[in-house]
Structure 1
Amino acid sequence: MSTNGVGKEEKAGAAVYTRGFLPLYDFYVLTLSNSIAWKCSRQRLLAHYNDNVSANHLDIGPGTGWYLREATWPTADPVVTLMDLNSNSLEMTSGRLASTGARVQTHIGSVLAPFGAGFGQFDSVAANFLFHCVPGTWEEKGKAFQYIADVTSDEGVFFGSTILAKDVKQNIVAKSLISLYNSVLHVFHNTDDDVSGLTAALDRAFEDVEVNVVGTVAVFSARKPRRIDSTTK
């Protein structure tokens, strides 16, 4: 999958997942940040995986693969496709799944680009804690939702979560981290991300959308992908 045309901001969001940082990610992000700042526990997000994951699964931006390793799969040997801009994340997640029975494939690519002919379709697609790192407004980020709809099967589900920064109640830790990650480190791009914009963007690509806000996190699922005739794209 080509990474041509990937912007500096998107690359910066992916570049934070270094070999040195990834071993710390589960504790710093999934335990401390989730519980103290974002007020949405990793167990809540794991339950979302368990409710939606299928035996034919695509995970976009898998991080360290913690959720994939801990998830309850509907079969002993699921086919799991991983996609990320960062090869470190793909390598670590693949390693974590090596002993689970999952058959793993990896692709380096951008969620803001079409997947391309022959990529296939999936019965579940996940993007967990990804879109707050993707640059642009919801209208711009939302282009990714149509690309995802294109690779979601008719009976499939697209699900995930993203940290919101607008029109949600934030404690002092959340406010400080949002400012740091957006204005100083430039790894977040979510200062204007709100639940109404996310819902509208998902609605343009899927007919059946559910979004719940837990703390500062939008936990979403979307079904019935809208098919766009190739002649109109």
Structure 2
Amino acid sequence: MTASPEEIAAGQAVYTPSVLRLYDLLVLGLSNHFVWKCPTPRLRALYDAHVSGNHLDVGVGTGYYLDHCRFPAAAPRVALMDLNADALRFAAARIARYSPESYRRNVLEPIAFDAPKFDSVGVNYLLHCLPGAIAEKAVVFDHLKPLTNEGAVFFGSTLPQGGVERSGAARRLMEFYNRKGVFSNRDDDLVGLRDALRGRFRNVEIDIVGCAAVLVAHD
């Protein structure tokens, strides 16, 4: 099933400048710790462990992790990719010291790209915002892999509904976000995520932290 333009737009449209100004407090400060039970320091550590000096971040949020992670290079090449122009501007301003590249793209479609390729790709909190089931939305990896060099690592996290334990608060908040179109993870499950990644990468690691699936994948 192909996602409609309305479904694609809904998952990113919520990130207006006013929402982005509150995002770190509400999502990274409160939801991650108290609802999803995947504390933000755990995801910062994921970036510290896998980010390269030639990195592409997809679904950029506020740029928090790029602002706080430890790059293995003094002057890393950092690129941002998102469908939401406000998020791109917000994140780019936050990490202006890296002179980031910005690309407004829909990753559910083949990506037009003519710049040098990347050695790492962050897809943090991306998949659960994309319409469709995991088997359908995992096409993003098919579209992103041509943008990477051999051996590039993909890493990030997502919030599935199946195969993880969710508190009552997590269930209620996910359902609220699904009704609003912010999330589209009713059909997302751990088995589907693992199968989608293993069908595309030779090496796949998935850790469950709270109700988040923290992933690392590479050939």
TM range (shorter): over 0.9
Q: Is the 8 A contact 2:118 2:147 kept in 1?
A: yes
Choose which of 136, 139, 144 in structure 1 pairs with 2:140. Answer: 144
Instruction: Encode CA deviations 1:76-119: one digit per residue, 9 max, x unaligned.
Output: 111111011111111111111113xx131101111111122524
Residue in structure 2 matched with residue 14 of structure 1 by the alignment: 12
Find 2:102's aligned residue among 86, 102, 106. Answer: 106
1:217 to 191, 212, 216: 212
Change (3 A) 1:6 1:51: farther
For the residues of structure 2 that align with 1:46 and 1:193, how far apart are their CA atoms?
24
Cα-to-partner distance string for 1:26-54 (whole Å, 9 max, x where unaligned): 00000100011100001000000000001
1:190 aligned partner: 185
Aligned partner of 2:78 in structure 1 is 80
Distance 1:120 1:216 in 2: 36
Measure the CA separation in 2 of the matches of 1:202 and 1:32. 29
Distance 1:218 1:77, change over 3 A: same
| 1:135 equivalenced with 2:113 (yes/no) | no
**Runs of 4 or more consecutive aligned structure 1 residues displaced over 3 Å after TM superposition:** none
Distance across 1 between alignment mates of 2:194 and 2:13: 28
Query: Which residue number corresponds to residue 162 of structure 2?
Result: 166
Q: CA deviation at 1:132?
A: 0.3
Match of 1:38 in 2: 36
What letter corresponds to residue 149 of structure 2 in structure 1? S
Question: In the alignment, what sits opposite 1:230?
Answer: none
Give yes or no for contact 2:197–2:217 (8 Å, CA) kept in 1: yes
- Counting aligned pairs with the same residue, the percent is 43
| SS class of match (1:20) | helix
Q: How far apart in 2 are the matches of 1:103 and 1:42?
A: 25
Structure 1 match to 2:62? 64
Q: How many residues align?
A: 217
Q: Bigger CA drift: 158-167 or 147-156?
A: 147-156
Contact 1:169-1:216 at 8 Å conserved across structures = yes
Q: Does structure 1 residue 200 correspond to structure 2 residue 195? A: yes
Opposite residue 30 of structure 2, the aligned amino acid is L
Contact 2:113-2:147 at 8 Å conserved across structures: no
CA-atom RMSD, angstroms?
A: 1.3
> Match for 2:67: what amino acid?
R
Tell me how far apart the structure 2 counterparts of residues 106 and 173 of structure 1 sit (CA, whole Å).
35
**2:112 and 2:168 mapped to 1: Cα distance?**
43
Aligned counterparts of 2:168 and 2:113: Cα–Cα separation in 1: 46
Partner SS state of residue 17, structure 2: coil
* C-alpha contact 2:128 2:160 (8 A) present in aligned 1: yes
Q: Distance in 2 between matches of 1:169 and 1:210?
A: 19
1:177 partner SS: helix
Alignment correspondent of 2:114: 118
The equivalent residue for 2:46 is 48
TM-score by length of 2: 0.95
- Contact 1:78–1:103 (Cα < 8 Å) also in 2: no
